[in-house]
């Protein structure tokens, strides 16, 4: 008997799933291309379908404040910012100046630069430095890196 609870993802099913999702817009497509050009590290970028889900979850949760650990080349940050209302904010942190350098262009082009704040440095320090009086009504924490190149105490 087939166990329908555990459907194995294959190329056909994945293709079908992608066909149902909103495709990357021009800014996202450029971000994917620029990230791929970085080489091996590009595998850290979340796939587009996860970005679609993130935007939707942020919108549905009506979150207004998001703290993200692990910006990389900002694909997930952009996705979450797109789900926020104009008054919403994402604080995103990363240790890499090189990888996050792509950020400003993408946020500006997408019209969400005023919703995003990048903090460079160890996540643990960034999180500790968050003001407690700015405690958000709703916070969504996202994108903790399980992968190289760096892990510290978070
Ligand atoms: C898997 S990537 C994040 C992918 C990203 N969310 C996206 O959608 O493209 C992980 C990121 O976490 C960063 N990172 C790893 N350890 C960190 C730490 N201790 N503090 C801050 N950033 C860290 C890495 O520099 C890397 O850019």
Domain boundaries, the chain: 22-144
Query: What 3-state DSSP class applies to 90?
Result: strand
> Ligand 1: which of 34, 42, 46, 71 to mutate, judged by most atoms within 8 Å of the beta carbon?
71
Q: Which atom of ligand 1 is nearest to the CA of 76?
A: 8
Ligand 1 mean position, distance from CA 94 (Å)? 6
Q: What pLDDT is stored for residue 18 in this prediction?
A: 87
Q: What tens digit of pLDDT does each residue of 66-118 get?
A: 999 999 999 999 999 999 999 999 999 999 999 999 888 888 899 999 999 99
Ligand 1 mean position, distance from CA 119 (Å)? 12
Average pLDDT over residues 2-20: 85
Residue 98 burial (10 A CB sphere; 0-12, 13-18, 19+): exposed
> Ligand 1: which of 41, 44, 67, 154 to mutate, judged by most atoms within 8 Å of the beta carbon?
44
Alpha helices in 9-151 (DSSP H): 11-20, 26-36, 48-61, 75-83, 97-100, 103-110, 123-129
Q: Under CATH, which architecture does the 22-144 domain have?
A: 3-Layer(aba) Sandwich (3.40)
Q: Using 50, 70 and 90 to split pLDDT, how confident is the model at 154?
A: very low
Q: What tens digit of pLDDT does each residue of 35-58 get?
A: 999 999 999 999 999 999 999 999
């Amino acid at each position: 008997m087939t166990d329908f609870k555990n459907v194995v993802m294959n190329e056909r099913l994945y293709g079908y799933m992608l066909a149902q999702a909103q495709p990357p817009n021009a800014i996202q497509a450029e971000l994917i291309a620029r990230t791929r050009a970085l080489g091996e590290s590009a595998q850290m970028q979340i796939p587009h379908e996860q970005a679609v889900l993130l935007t939707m979850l942020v919108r549905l949760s009506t979150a207004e404040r998001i703290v993200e650990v692990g910006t990389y080349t900002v694909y997930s940050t952009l996705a979450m910012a797109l789900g926020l209302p104009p008054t919403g904010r994402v604080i995103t942190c990363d240790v890499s100046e090189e990888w996050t350098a792509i950020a400003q262009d993408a946020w500006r082009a997408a019209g969400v630069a005023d919703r995003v704040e990048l903090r460079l440095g160890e996540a643990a320090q960034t999180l500790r430095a968050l003001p407690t009086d700015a405690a958000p009504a709703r916070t969504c924490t996202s994108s903790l890196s399980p992968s190289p190149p760096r892990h510290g105490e978070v």
